[in-house]
């Protein structure tokens, strides 16, 4: 009896995607959260990469505050320089090394 699922079927994949988008929509302005945290909230702790893929390839994710999602160390998404600008516009501070100041902006549901 496994206590946590290890393989997704089609319905679970759809539910996972919907959960991810729903969670991202709830991130408060001026806050950020991580891919891993979203994956955990969705019930699939080891699927941080899939959260990233979902936000990257799902049309419609662009209307969500997906710029408020950064990796575990506060790094912004590669190839998306505008993300930092969008965050700074809503008051998120970056450290000298280019990472988000997680200590003051990390949001955990």
Partner DNA sequence: AGTTTGACTGGAG
Partner DNA sequence: CCTCCAGCCAAAC
The site for DNA (CB under 7 A) is made up of 6-8, 13, 34-37, 46-53, 55-57, 61, 66-67, 69, 71-73, 75, 77-80, 83, 95, 97-99
What angle, 0 to 180 degrees and rounded to 10, lies between the N-to-C axes of helices 48-57 and 10-24? 80
Q: What minimum distance in Å lies between the beta carbon of 28 and DNA?
A: 17
Which of 20, 32, 66, 70 does the annotation list as catalytic?
66
Residue 52 bears catalytic tag: no
Query: Would you name the residues annotated as active-site residues?
Result: 66
């Amino acid at each position: 009896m496994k206590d946590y699922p290890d393989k997704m079927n089609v319905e679970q994949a759809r539910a996972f995607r919907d959960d991810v988008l729903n969670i991202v929509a709830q991130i408060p302005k001026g806050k950020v959260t991580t891919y891993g945290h979203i994956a955990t909230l969705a019930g699939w702790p080891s699927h941080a990469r899939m959260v990233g893929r979902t936000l990257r390839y799902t049309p419609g994710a662009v209307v969500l505050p997906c710029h408020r999602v950064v990796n575990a160390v506060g790094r912004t998404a590669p190839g998306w320089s505008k993300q930092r600008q969008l965050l700074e516009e809503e008051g998120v501070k970056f450290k000298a090394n280019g990472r988000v100041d997680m200590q003051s902006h990390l949001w955990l549901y």
